[in-house]
Amino acid sequence: MPAIQIISLVILGIILALSIWRKVNVGVLAYAATLVLALISAQDPTKTFSAFPASLVILIIGVTLLFAHAERSGAINWLIGVSLRPIGTRRWLVPCIGFFAGAALSTIGAFPTAPISLLLPILARLAKAYRLNYLVLAIICVWGSNAAGLSPLSPAGALVQTLAAKANVTYSPWEVYGIIMGLHAVLCAVLFYVKGGIRQRATGVNAAEKIDPASIIERTPLNAYSIASLIGLAAMVIGAVGFKLDIGLTAISLALVLQLVFRPKESELIAKVPWSVVLLLSGLVVYLGLLEKIGTLGGVQDAVSHIGSPLLLIVVLTYLTAAVSNVESSTLVVLGIMVPIGFSVAGHDPMAQLAMLVAVVMSAAVVAISPVHIGGALIIGNAHDQQRAYRKMFAVTGVTAAVVPALMAIYPIAIGI
């Protein structure tokens, strides 16, 4: 591997280390690193912008704006209220509500933080009402929300598609989404069973007394704005899935119609857009584009092809992904770095590429319950005894990071990568 390619990988490591150490947005670091590397490699810095993920940025902005309308109009609150109605005396439905409600909102494009922050306070009260373990319910909700983030309508799913296109890898986004959702559902079922299932006792929740489940969430009646927002969300999904319309442009157009008709305060809606995520992803993808241009990613593929033990390589990759995800607060950063490496390991076999993609995504996603991640922090923030919850969350994260990567490596090894 030429010296410039080695330098580019060292710079990538420095980007990750500085983002963790100094809490600096990876996108800012990546843009600065792009300039440095372009000058060192005698590339025209302005031409690196050809890798700017315009469609990904537009998707994040458009879907977030449309979801912001749905949240502001009360449509999301109404949907959550509807999802609580079937519970009644069926305690076993409570973890299902957390998993599927979070997954449904993330599937249609909400950044996972949004459904998690909406649902965790509700799950804390449900845990007390039904004498269930809040931490278990919260972990299930976070896993469901994050797993559904691999939907092609969501930022993480769109990022993986962008990285796959750059690596000339073809796969079915909905197939990967289904596999990731299925694996997370199994993982949630195992966790719920190990922690006592419906026989468990409530621990670590905010509520002090048993409450009436019907009062858990304020019932929001539908109005013209909320009905139009629900129609807008449905139209976005139908347009993207059924008619292959661009997701971002479709969402922005629908959000514009809602803005013109109902005239909510625009500044508050725009403030909902995760601009830090836009900066993070755009900077990271631009830097990765430069790595591809100078041949670094191809060099990595050539280097790993000479490693004598594919089994060791796959296991190291899955555990390295989990380890990086344990210390890096953004799963998107981990995917942006590790997915291209996974494709390099898989080579050109479509089955191998799919297996490695699932292995890398699962190894990164399941650790999102760590307290260094937003999901893990929100879980602890809604716990009654936060110190105890902090210790328990680290324990669960440690066990997950130790077990899941090994399990995820089995299939790629079995098919002979």
pLDDT tens, position by position, for the chain (417 residues)?
789 999 999 999 999 899 888 889 999 999 999 999 999 999 998 888 888 999 999 999 999 999 999 999 999 988 888 888 888 777 888 899 999 999 999 999 888 988 999 899 989 888 888 888 999 999 999 999 999 999 999 999 999 999 999 888 999 999 999 999 999 999 999 999 888 766 655 444 444 344 555 566 666 789 999 999 999 999 999 999 999 999 999 999 999 999 999 999 999 999 999 999 999 999 999 999 999 899 987 787 777 666 656 677 888 889 989 988 887 778 898 999 899 888 888 878 888 889 999 999 999 999 989 888 888 989 999 888 888 888 899 889 999 999 999 999 887 777 666
Question: Residue 120 and residue 106: Cα distance in Å, rounded?
Answer: 15
Question: Residue 190 and residue 202: Cα distance in Å, rounded?
Answer: 18
CB of 69 within 8 A of CB of 258? Answer: yes
Extract the tokens encoding 210. Answer: 């048993």
**Residue 170, SS3?**
coil
**Residue 205, SS3?**
strand
Task: Give the burial class of 206: count Cβ atoms within 10 A of its Cβ; 0-12 exposed, 13-18 middle, 19 or more buried.
Answer: middle
170 C-beta neighbours (distance < 10 Å), count? 10
As a three-state string, the secondary structure of 161-198 is HHHHHHCCCCCCHHHHHHHHHHHHHHHHHHHHHHCCHH
Q: How distant, in Å, are the alpha carbons of 346, 355, 376, 412 from that of 351?
A: 9, 6, 33, 9
Terminal Cα distance for the chain, rounded: 22
Q: List % helix, strand, coil for the chain (3-state, nearest 5).
A: 75, 0, 20
CB of 349 within 8 A of CB of 307? Answer: no
CB of 249 within 8 A of CB of 56? Answer: no
Location of structure tokens 């900077």? 283
90: enclosing H helix or E strand: none
CB of 362 within 8 A of CB of 411? Answer: no
Question: Residue 155 and residue 332: Cα distance in Å, rounded?
Answer: 8
CB of 25 within 8 A of CB of 280? Answer: yes
Between CA 170 and CA 177, with CA 175 as vertex, the angle to 5 degrees is: 110
Q: Taking the CA of residue 2 as centre, how many other CA atoms within 13 Å lie in the half-sphere pointing to its CB?
A: 10
Q: Which amino acid is at 255?
A: A
* 295 dihedral zone (left: phi>0; alpha: psi -120 to 50; beta): left
Specify the pTM: 0.86
Question: Residue 394 and residue 402: Cα distance in Å, rounded?
Answer: 12
